[in-house]
Amino acid sequence: MTYKVTEEGNISTVFLQGEIDMDVTDKAKEVIMPLVEAKKEVHLNLKDVQYMDSSGISVLIESHQKANELGTKVILKDISKSVLKVIMMAKLEQVLNLG
């Protein structure tokens, strides 16, 4: 997994690339959580994520819940087909913010 973060006002966009699985979930959290805790609106661009397993999905859920607690948002953008499939199978399209 590689990533790039861009800032625009109170919005931080995290462009994630590669595979998000158990090996990189801690790294993903280290990138996403501080932005959420700073009460930024976080946009996760998942266009270049080829694969995400349940541990990757749990990072999305945790960051979403933390954002709700803090009164901000995590929005998933440009979701790749493979990731969208996992989100739909887990019935999380109702829970997560898909933008």
Question: What is the residue extent of each domain of the chain?
Answer: 2-98
What pLDDT score does 63 carry?
98
What pLDDT score does 17 carry?
98
Query: What is the three-class DSSP state of 75?
Result: strand
pTM score of the predicted model: 0.95
Q: What is the mean pLDDT of each run of 10 residues along the chain (99 residues)?
A: 97 98 97 98 98 96 98 98 96 95
The mean of the pLDDT values for the chain is 97
CA distance 2 to 61: 20
CA trace torsion 5, 3, 13, 6 (10° rounding): 20
Q: Which of these CATH numbers, 3.30.750.24, 3.40.50.2300, 2.60.120.330, 3.20.20.70, describes 2-98?
A: 3.30.750.24
- Tens of pLDDT along 63-84? 999 999 999 999 999 999 999 9
